[in-house]
Structure 1
Amino acid sequence: MRKTIIAGNWKMNKTNKETIIILTELKENVQKIDGTDKIGIIIGTPFTALSDAVKTTENSNIKIAAQNVYPKEAGAYTGEISPLMLKDIGVEYVILGHSERRDYFKESNSFINEKIKCVLSYEMSPIFCIGEQLEDRETGKTNEVITTQIKEGLSGISSEEAKNIIVAYEPVWAIGTGKTATPEIAEETHKEIRKVLKEMFGEVAEEMTVQYGGSMKPTNAKELLSQKNIDGGLIGGASLNAKDFSDIIKAAL
C-alpha cells in the first residue's frame, strides 16, 4: 500500500530564525493531530536552514528535505552542495527536477537523472518533479512531455530503487499562479503517470507515491487528495504558514 506524503517546498524563503519559529509551531500542531503517524510529512528548507531544521524537528515525524544537490561527493564545484554534506546533517529527502530548476537553471532530464542516482546511492529519497507548461497542455502534449521526463529522468533506475522515489506532478501553469488543475484533470494525469511507471517498474508502480504539486491549499486539498491516484502534495506557498500546512495535513487524514 502506497503512502500519502505531504511535503512543503519553501523555495528561497525563511531565515534560520524564521525556520526555527515555524517548525516549532508546526511540530506542536502535528502532535495535536491524530493519525499523523499514518502519513509522511516533509519540509524542504533552503540550504542555510537545513541543519537548524533537522535539529528543530528531532523527536517528531517531520522529515527534512534539501531543495537541490550537486551529484558529486566533493571537489572543485564552487557554490554547490554535495549529497555527503546533506546526509551528514540528517537530511533524508532531496527535491529534484523542480520546474524552476528546469526553467531558470536549464537542468536537463539527463542531469536530473544523474542527481537521482547520486541521491539514492547515499540512501536518501528523491522527490522527483515532473510537469508540463501551459503551451503543452493547450496543444495536447501533456502525456508526451511527462512520459519523456519520467523515462529519461528515471533511466537506469531499478525497480527496487524506485520504491524509494517520490514522484511529484506539478503542472507548471498552476504553480504560483493561483490556478489549480481540477481534481479530475489532476487525477487523469496522475493515472497516466502511474501507467508509465508501471511500464518501467512493474507492480512496484502501485507502491510509489505520486504527489500533486500545483497550488494545493487548505481550501482544495481534501478534494484533490480524495482522488484515487493522488497520494499527497508538494506544497509551495501554503507550506510557509504553519496553520495552513497543518490544515492540509488534516485534509490528508
Structure 2
Amino acid sequence: MIFESHLRHFSPFKHIFFPEPAETMARKFFVGGNWKMNGDFASVDGIVAFLNQSADNSNVDVVVAPPAPYLAYAKANLKAGVLVAAQNCYKTAKGAFTGEISPAMIKDLGLEWVILGHSERRHVFGESDALIAEKTVHALESGIKVIFCIGEKLEEREAGHTKDVNFRQLQAIVDKGVSWENIVIAYEPVWAIGTGKTASPEQAQEVHEWVRAFLKEKVSPAVADATRIIYGGSVTADNAAELGKKPDIDGFLVGGASLKPDFVKIINARS
C-alpha cells in the first residue's frame, strides 16, 4: 500500500517519485556602509581600525563604500570579512567620460560590489531610471554585484505615490531582463536620508513587503523569495534592532552612522 503523502508526488504514467520541495533558504543579513563624499587617510584609518577590531559575524555580509580615491587603500587594510564597494560606476568599460569609473576598473581593484541608483545620484545629479538601468546591466555583465537603490521623496509619499515611484524604478531593470542573484535592493525613502527622520519599522516593512510582491509578480516567486531587500534612511544603533526584526527587512544601507564605531552595533543588530 502506498501512503497518501507519497501519492501526492507520484506519477502513475512515468512511475517517478518526486521529492518534497526544499524548504526556503533564509536570506543572509546584509549591512552596507555608504561613506559618501567623506574622509581622508586619517579618518579612513579610524574606520578601518574599529571594523578590524570588531568580532567577526559570519551571519552578516558587510560591505563598505568609501569614496573612489580610497577604494584600494580600504581594500588593502580592511580584514577579509569586510568587503569594499564603489559608490557609482558608468555604463561602459572605457572611453571619453571624464570623472567616471567603470565596472572593469572596480573589478581590477579586486572589488565585487557597486552602489547604483542612490537618491543623491537620482536627485542631485539627475540620473534617470533608464541610465541607472543601463549602468546596472553593464555592472552585472562585468561581474560586479549591485546594491540597487530605490525610494520616494516626501511629497511623493504624501501624495500616495510610494508604490508607483518604487515600482517604476524597479521596472526599469526588470525590463532589461537582469539576472537577480547578484542584486541587493536598498529601499531608501528620500525623506529619511540624512534628515534624522526614519521610517517606522512598520512603514519600512510595508514597503519591503510591497517590493517583494512586485518581484513575485513581475519576475518570479523564487527571485522574490531569495532577493535581499535592505533598508536605508537614518539607520542608527538605536533603531537597527527593531527594524531588523521585520520579516522582509534583510539588512541596512547606512550613511553617516557607518563612519562611527556604533556601525558595529548595526552590523550585529540581528545577533
TM-score by length of 1: 0.94
Determine helix, strand or coil for the equivalent of 1:251: coil
Alpha carbons 2:115, 2:149 under 8 Å: kept: yes
Counterpart AA for 1:23: V
In 1: Cα distance, 2:88 partner to 2:35 partner: 12
Identify which of 203, 213, 216 aligns with 1:198: 216
Task: Confirm or deny that 1:68 pairs with 2:93.
Answer: no
Partner of 1:245: 263
Task: Using the TM superposition, give the Cα deviation of residue 84 of structure 1 relative to its aligned residue in structure 2, in angstroms.
Answer: 0.9
Identify which of 17, 22, 47 aligns with 2:68: 47
Partner of 2:115: 95
Counterpart AA for 2:66: T
Task: Using the TM superposition, give the Cα deviation of residue 19 of structure 1 relative to its aligned residue in structure 2, in angstroms.
Answer: 1.4
Determine helix, strand or coil for the equivalent of 2:62: strand
**Higher deviation after alignment, 114-123 or 225-234:** 114-123
Alpha carbons 2:174, 2:219 under 8 Å: kept: no
Provide Cα deviations, 1:16-54, integer angstroms capped at 9, x if missing partner. 3321331132111134xxxx1111001011000000011
In 1: Cα distance, 2:37 partner to 2:244 partner: 26
The runs of 5 or more residues in structure 1 that have no matched partner are none
Moved over 4 A (4+): none
In 2: Cα distance, 1:146 partner to 1:132 partner: 7
Identify which of 175, 185, 189 aligns with 1:155: 175
Alpha carbons 1:168, 1:233 under 8 Å: kept: yes
Q: How many residues align?
A: 245
Determine helix, strand or coil for the equivalent of 1:30: coil
Partner of 1:38: 59
Determine helix, strand or coil for the equivalent of 1:37: coil
In 2: Cα distance, 1:252 partner to 1:180 partner: 18
Partner of 2:15: none
Partner of 1:175: 193
Alpha carbons 1:16, 1:48 under 8 Å: kept: no
Task: Confirm or deny that 1:18 pairs with 2:46.
Answer: no
Alpha carbons 2:189, 2:233 under 8 Å: kept: yes
Please provide the CA RMSD for this pair: 1.1
Alpha carbons 1:4, 1:231 under 8 Å: kept: yes
In 1: Cα distance, 2:228 partner to 2:141 partner: 20
Task: Confirm or deny that 1:216 pairs with 2:235.
Answer: yes
In 1: Cα distance, 2:184 partner to 2:177 partner: 13
Task: Using the TM superposition, give the Cα deviation of residue 82 of structure 1 relative to its aligned residue in structure 2, in angstroms.
Answer: 1.2
Task: Using the TM superposition, give the Cα deviation of residue 131 of structure 1 relative to its aligned residue in structure 2, in angstroms.
Answer: 0.3
- Of the two structures, which has the highest relative contact order with CA contacts closer than 8 Å and spacing of 6 or more? 1
Q: Which structure has more helix as a fraction of its residues?
A: 1
Task: Using the TM superposition, give the Cα deviation of residue 76 of structure 1 relative to its aligned residue in structure 2, in angstroms.
Answer: 1.1
Alpha carbons 1:162, 1:201 under 8 Å: kept: no
The runs of 5 or more residues in structure 2 that have no matched partner are 1-25
Counterpart AA for 1:197: L
In 1: Cα distance, 2:38 partner to 2:177 partner: 32
Alpha carbons 1:71, 1:82 under 8 Å: kept: yes
In 2: Cα distance, 1:69 partner to 1:154 partner: 20
Partner of 1:236: 255
Partner of 1:186: 204
Alignment of 1:78-117 (within 5 A): 78-117=98-137
TM-score by length of 2: 0.88
**Higher deviation after alignment, 49-58 or 216-225:** 49-58
Task: Using the TM superposition, give the Cα deviation of residue 153 of structure 1 relative to its aligned residue in structure 2, in angstroms.
Answer: 3.3
In 2: Cα distance, 1:177 partner to 1:222 partner: 20
Partner of 1:8: 33
In 2: Cα distance, 1:21 partner to 1:122 partner: 32
Identity %: 45
Counterpart AA for 1:218: A
Counterpart AA for 2:36: K
Identify which of 158, 164, 167 aligns with 2:182: 164
